[in-house]
Amino acid sequence: MTKTRQATIRCPRPSRNHEKITFAIAGDPVQTGKILLGDALTTAQAHRTAAKHHPRRIALFGGSFDPIHNGHLSVARAADRRFNFDEIHFIPASRPPHKLKQHLAPFPHRFAMVSLACTEHPHFVPSLAEAGEDFSGTQLHYSVDTVRYFRHVYHGHGDRIYFIIGADAFLDIPMWKEYETLLGLCDFIIANRPGIRTEALRLVIPPDLMARPDGKREGANGHPSQVVAQLQRSTVYLLENVSSDVSATDIRRRSNRGQAIHGLVSARVEEYILKQGLYR
């Protein structure tokens, strides 16, 4: 999901249910995924969505995922342990405006790797929300519009959307499109790293979005030390002790040099990178 100031999104129009993702990793990566909007759901989604008796907790985790690595998965697992999500949607970014000059692996490859990384985690769902109608991932998408799309899909009573984000990215959130609106559309979970203080994260939030000291918002929870800020319509949470030395830049560099990437990505993603000759 991306973060600059202007543009519109053309998300697939949701029906009563949400997307079914089918993929076959062999062959042309362009055929690795597609959206079938209708009554069908993935098996994992179907079981969880059938449980209508409780509000759903849905997390969105966006990024370039070029490639998705064990650091990403570690953050997602830590967030899942704390918040007990029904689903965590991994959303490969389409065409990040802040990375227009950076060469990214084609979207189908990045989605294929996300799909492979999610296979061993029942709550992890690979998402095509930013794939575009032709699955090319070339259209501009923005986080505020992607969150609106998921709020349209998950609109049951008590359903909550959570946005997983790194601390560095959150510090840049005033540069994002309609960031004040975005901060009120969903709860945020900030994966912190050493050196970033809670006060610095709180300072980027406009004061007029803050909840009154005596106000209690439905759905807010957590120890005060785990809450960055209580907003009028949402809560910003802090996820500590999730920093990782793994970086996508290092993985691409090592792959380009023919060096091992074992242990930096999941085994299936490692195999895919080697077979497809990515980053060479």
Tell me what pLDDT residue 9 has. Answer: 41
Tell me what pLDDT residue 94 has. Answer: 86
d(CA 36, CA 128) in angstroms, rounded, equals 11
Tell me what pLDDT residue 214 has. Answer: 66
Cα 127–Cα 80–Cα 90 angle in degrees, nearest 5:
15
Residues with Cβ within 8 Å of residue 39, at least 6 apart in sequence = 15, 16, 17
Tell me what pLDDT residue 95 has. Answer: 73
Tell me what pLDDT residue 213 has. Answer: 78
Tell me what pLDDT residue 4 has. Answer: 46
User: Are the beta carbons of 265 and 273 closer than 8 angstroms?
Assistant: yes
Cα 145–Cα 108–Cα 178 angle in degrees, nearest 5:
15
Tell me what pLDDT residue 138 has. Answer: 83
Tell me what pLDDT residue 2 has. Answer: 55
Tell me what pLDDT residue 269 has. Answer: 98
- Domain boundaries defined on the chain: 20-246
Tell me what pLDDT residue 13 has. Answer: 40
The first and second tokens of residue 32, run together, are 């690795």
Global confidence as pTM = 0.82
Locus of tokens 């998408």:
141
Residue 57: how many CB atoms within 10 A of its CB? Answer: 21
How many residues in total does the chain contain?
A: 280
| Superfamily (CATH H level) for 20-246 | HUPs (3.40.50.620)
In eight-state DSSP terms, residue 231 is B
In eight-state DSSP terms, residue 212 is P
Per-residue pLDDT of the chain (280 residues; tens, 9 = 90+): 655 443 334 444 433 333 333 343 444 554 444 433 333 334 445 445 545 558 999 999 999 999 999 999 999 999 999 999 999 999 999 875 555 557 899 999 999 999 999 998 999 999 999 998 888 888 888 999 999 999 999 999 999 999 999 999 999 999 999 999 999 999 999 999 889 999 999 999 999 999 987 655 555 565 666 999 999 999 999 999 888 899 999 999 999 999 999 999 999 999 999 999 999 9
